[in-house]
């Protein structure tokens, strides 16, 4: 039965969600847990989807895009392991939720969104919630955002056939990149830039929307 009192208490539902994710092993870092507790996910979805804001599943946000399931946001944050002084590149702003979580961990977040109306909505939403550390531009995420490079970390919220060369090139030595890679069969890849190229780790099968943009 639908519980209206519980639905009208987003803070409680957010705490319960983070507790469930931690118990299931989807959150390992205390910093990630606190970031997830701090960001009001219900503010990043439409009114008709707010009742599902704290379910652990993706939700449609328009333009064929989704807000990632909370456990995937947590996993990516844990793998990136960023600190307050880090500069982070996000490819795929979407509704801005993942950028907000990242901004709880790092002081500088630069996000590239291909769909201009999504970028504008996310910009307004983040500003209204006080996330001034997030800068958004409209563009093809395959090219990254060279103006602010080098980055300490970068991540994709959409699947690419391979790790974008431009994004890799914009990482500092020792910088970390987390991305879903593949088309029909996708794997979550965490890579560290080294003097010899990239050290890659495979973190299992995932399912993300595909990256938009030109060739």
CATH number for the domain including 131?
3.40.50.150
If DSSP codes are grouped into helix, strand and coil, which group holds residue 189? strand
Q: What average pLDDT score do residues 77-99 get?
A: 97
Q: How far apart are CA 180 and CA 188, in angstroms?
A: 4
Which residue range(s) make up the domain with 186?
4-206
Is position 24 within any domain? Answer: yes
| Neighbouring C-beta atoms of residue 69, cutoff 10 Å | 18
Q: What average pLDDT score do residues 19-37 get?
A: 97
Is position 184 within any domain? Answer: yes
Which residues have a Cβ under 8 Å from the Cβ of 166 and sit 6 or more positions away?
A: 142, 143, 144, 146
Is position 200 within any domain? Answer: yes
Is position 199 within any domain? Answer: yes
Is position 213 within any domain? Answer: no
When divided into structural domains, the chain yields a total of 1
Q: How far apart are CA 74 and CA 27, in angstroms?
A: 6
Task: Taking each helix axis as running N to C, give the angle between helix 30-38 and helix 10-23, from 0 to 180 degrees, rounded to the nearest 10.
Answer: 160
Distances, alpha carbon 115 to alpha carbons 1, 54, 112, 140, 181, in Å: 38, 25, 9, 9, 21
Q: Are 107 and 84 in contact (CB under 8 A)?
A: yes
Q: Are 157 and 165 in contact (CB under 8 A)?
A: no
Distances, alpha carbon 66 to alpha carbons 2, 143, 154, 168, 201, in Å: 24, 22, 19, 25, 25
Is position 212 within any domain? Answer: no
H helix or E strand, kind and range, residue 175: strand 171-182
Catalytic-residue membership of 162: no
Q: What is the pLDDT of residue 1?
A: 33
Q: How far apart are CA 51 and CA 172, in angstroms?
A: 41
Q: What is the pLDDT of residue 214?
A: 64
Q: For residue 215, what pLDDT band results from cuts at 50, 70 and 90?
A: low
At 49-58, the pLDDT tens digits run: 999 999 999 9
Is position 187 within any domain? Answer: yes
Is position 211 within any domain? Answer: no
Share of residues in the chain with pLDDT > 90 (%): 92
Q: What is the pLDDT of residue 58?
A: 96
Share of residues in the chain with pLDDT > 70 (%): 95
Choose, from 68, 111, 128, 162, the residue flagged as catalytic.
68
Q: What is the pLDDT of residue 93?
A: 98
| The model's pTM | 0.94
At 111-127, the pLDDT tens digits run: 999 999 999 999 999 99
Q: What average pLDDT score do residues 182-203 get?
A: 95
């Amino acid at each position: 039965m639908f519980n209206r009192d519980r639905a009208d208490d987003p803070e409680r539902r957010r705490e319960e969600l983070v507790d469930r994710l931690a118990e299931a092993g989807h959150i390992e870092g205390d910093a990630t847990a606190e970031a997830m507790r701090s960001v009001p996910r219900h503010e990043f979805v439409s009114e008709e989807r707010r009742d599902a804001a704290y379910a652990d599943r993706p939700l449609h946000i328009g333009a064929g895009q989704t807000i990632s399931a909370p456990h995937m946001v947590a996993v990516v944050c844990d793998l990136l392991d960023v600190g307050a002084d880090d500069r982070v590149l996000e490819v795929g702003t979407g509704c801005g939720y993942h950028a907000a979580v990242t901004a709880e961990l790092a002081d500088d977040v630069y996000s590239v969104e291909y769909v201009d109306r999504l970028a504008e909505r996310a910009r307004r939403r983040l500003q209204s919630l006080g996330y001034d550390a997030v800068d958004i531009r409209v563009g093809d995420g395959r090219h990254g955002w060279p103006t602010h490079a080098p980055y300490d970390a970068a991540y994709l919220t959409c699947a690419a056939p391979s790790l974008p060369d431009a994004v890799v090139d914009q990482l500092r030595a020792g910088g970390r990149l987390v991305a879903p890679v593949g088309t029909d069969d996708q794997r979550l890849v965490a890579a560290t830039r080294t003097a010899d190229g990239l050290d890659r780790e495979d973190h299992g099968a995932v399912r993300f929307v595909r990256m938009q943009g030109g060739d």
